[in-house]
């Protein structure tokens, strides 16, 4: 249940609660040797994480997590080994962050109409930057007495159909994959078990993802149970995708989304890092 690779994690640069250096230190202490920082729609944490990784003897994989749209479904795509300085990627991420701010304003207005003023300002203050997401609204709602915990705040106010929800306008799936590839990265379909799609629709999504240049799929994920892991492994084999492993860590104290707390890849999966082998650290860390 412990993996030296963890290729999906968040910091305070988006909706995680640890700063990038703190995240790297926690990963190192938990035996992670290769860590990807994959904040939502920003690469702002990568420089701090890289410096901390060097000090800790961890290999940092520069990453990002994009929210994209495919046939009305919100699909997350992780980019690994991206060049964060690539202009097309940065222009795309800026566009995403502008959409986030517009959506956050709309959510603030809706919550105000529902009798909860100040949510936009509160969420922005908690975000501390441009990447405002629903997690920040959930934290504001809990702190202002509108929910016992984040899950309840989501269920009451922030999920689709609830009074604080406003629809996002994310980049189309294929275009988002294009940004990652332009920046030299590998596009990974994040947590496929979380989209609540039928088997046939999920296969159509994976085919579209593959057709647009996606190369890998998360098989082992903090968002997946054993059944979802096996479905994802079957999709990896069927569509010839590499397999990735990531906790989707956001906050300490969530036992099923802890850094490095990940099952081994099922048989027949080709690990995504095999396509990117290189540093001696990888050989040392595996299998
Ligand atoms: P957004 O990108 O604004 O739609 O916000 C999505 C983020 O909210 C995800 O990255 C998760 O971190 C978090 N999230 C989504 N659903 C829930 C939930 N039911 N409970 C707690 N956090 C959630
Ligand atoms: Mn998140
Ligand atoms: Mn995600
Ligand atoms: Mn994530």
- 56 and 187 fall within a common domain: yes
Number of domain units in the chain? 2
Query: Is 197 domain-assigned?
Result: yes
Last residue of a domain, one of 158, 179, 196: 158
Same structural domain for residues 135 and 47?
no
Q: Is residue 97 part of a domain?
A: no
Looking at the domain assignment, is residue 51 inside a domain?
A: yes
- 131 located within any domain: yes
Is the CB of 11 within 6 Å of ligand 1?
no
**pLDDT at position 281:** 42
Q: Are residues 51 and 175 in the same domain?
A: yes
Q: Provide the angle, in degrees to the nearest 10, between the axes of the packed helices 87-113 and 119-127.
A: 150
21, part of any domain: yes
Do residues 65 and 189 share a domain?
yes
Does ligand 1 lie within 6 Å of residue 133's CB atom?
Answer: yes
DSSP string, 91-147: HHHHHHHHHHHHHHHHHHHHHHHTT-TTHHHHHHHHH-SS---HHHHHHHHHHTTS-
Q: Are residues 148 and 26 in the same domain?
A: no
Ligand 1 atom with least separation from CA of 250: 12
Return the ligand number nearest the Cα of 38.
4
The domain in which residue 222 lies consists of 5-92+170-284
Q: How many other C-beta atoms lie within 10 A of the C-beta of residue 95?
A: 16
Same domain, 11 and 46: yes
Q: How far is CA 138 from the centre of its chain?
A: 17
Which listed ligand is nearest to 7 at the C-alpha? 4
Given 119, 137, 158, the domain boundary residue is: 158
Whether 175 and 74 map to the same domain: the answer is: yes
Q: Is the CB of 165 under 6 A from ligand 1?
A: no
Q: Write the burial class of residue 90 (CB in 10 Å: 0-12 exposed, 13-18 middle, 19+ buried).
A: middle
User: What CATH number does the domain containing 33 carry?
Assistant: 3.20.20.140
Pull the structure tokens for residue 162: 């609830």
Ligand 1 atom at minimum distance from 132 CA: 3
Would you say residue 241 lies in a domain? yes
Per the CB < 8 A criterion, the answer to whether 79 and 185 are in contact is yes
Three-state DSSP class for residue 183: coil
pLDDT at 253: 92
- Domain CATH for 115: 1.10.150.650
Q: Give yes or no: residues 33 and 139 share one domain.
A: no
Distance 8 CA to ligand 4 centre (A): 6
Residue to mutate, 12, 15, 108, ligand 1, most ligand atoms under 8 Å from C-beta: 15
Separation CA 263–CA 273 (nearest Å):
16
Asked if residue 11 and residue 133 are part of one domain, the reply reads: no
Q: Is 163 a domain residue?
A: no
Is there an atom of ligand 1 within 6 Å of 135 CB? yes
Calpha distance 157→96 (Å, rounded):
23
The structure's pTM equals 0.95
Residue 277, pLDDT score: 62
Residue 52: what pLDDT?
A: 98
Residue 249 CB–ligand 1 contact under 6 Å: no
Minimum CA distance residue for ligand 1 atom 4:
134
Are residues 142 and 12 both part of a single domain?
no
- Residues 88 and 185 sit within 8 Å (Cβ to Cβ): no
Q: How far is the CA of 205 from the centre of ligand 2 (A)?
A: 21
Whether the CB-CB separation of 19 and 11 falls below 8 Å is answered with yes
Ion ligand 4 contact residues with beta carbon within 5 A: 65, 248
104 Cα nearest atom in ligand 1? 3
> Is 274 a domain residue?
yes
Which residue has a Cα nearest atom 5 of ligand 1?
A: 134
What is the number of other CB atoms lying within 10 angstroms of the CB of residue 160? 8
113 and 227 co-located in one domain: no
Per-residue pLDDT of the chain (287 residues; tens, 9 = 90+): 789 999 999 999 999 999 999 999 999 999 999 999 999 999 999 999 999 999 999 999 999 999 999 999 999 999 999 999 999 999 999 999 999 999 999 999 999 999 999 999 999 999 997 799 999 999 999 999 999 999 999 999 999 999 999 999 999 999 999 999 999 999 999 999 999 999 999 999 999 999 999 999 999 999 999 999 999 999 999 999 999 999 999 999 998 899 999 999 999 999 999 877 654 444 444 44
Instruction: Say if residue 25 is in the same domain as residue 53.
Output: yes
Radius of gyration of the chain (CA): 18
- pLDDT at position 192 is 98
């Amino acid at each position: 249940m412990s993996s030296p690779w963890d290729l999906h994690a968040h910091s305070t640069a988006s909706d995680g609660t640890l700063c990038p250096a703190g995240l790297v230190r926690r990963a190192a202490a938990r035996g992670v040797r290769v860590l990807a920082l994959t904040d939502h729609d920003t690469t702002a944490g990568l420089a701090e994480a890289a410096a901390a990784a060097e000090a800790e003897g961890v290999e940092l994989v520069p990453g990002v997590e994009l929210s994209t749209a495919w046939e009305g479904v919100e699909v997350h795509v992780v980019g690994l080994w991206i060049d964060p300085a690539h202009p097309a990627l940065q222009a795309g991420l800026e566009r995403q962050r502008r959409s986030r701010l517009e959506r956050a304003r709309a959510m603030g207005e809706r919550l105000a109409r529902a009798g909860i003023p100040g949510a936009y300002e509160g969420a922005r203050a908690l975000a501390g930057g441009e990447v405002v997401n629903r997690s920040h609204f959930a934290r504001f709602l809990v702190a202002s007495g509108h929910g016992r915990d984040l899950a309840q705040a989501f269920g009451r106010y922030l999920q689709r159909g609830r009074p604080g929800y406003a629809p996002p306008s994310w980049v189309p799936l294929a275009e988002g994959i294009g940004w990652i590839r332009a920046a030299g990265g590998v596009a990974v379909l994040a947590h496929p078990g979380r989209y609540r799609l039928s088997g046939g629709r999920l296969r159509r999504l994976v085919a579209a993802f593959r057709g647009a240049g996606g190369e890998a799929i998360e098989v082992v994920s903090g968002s997946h149970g054993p059944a979802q892991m096996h479905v994802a492994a079957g999709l990896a084999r069927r569509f010839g995708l590499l397999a990735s492993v990531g906790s989707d860590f956001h906050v300490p104290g969530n036992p099923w989304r802890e850094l490095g707390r990940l099952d081994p890849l099922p048989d027949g999966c080709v690990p995504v890092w095999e396509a990117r082998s290189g540093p001696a650290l990888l050989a040392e860390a595996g299998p």
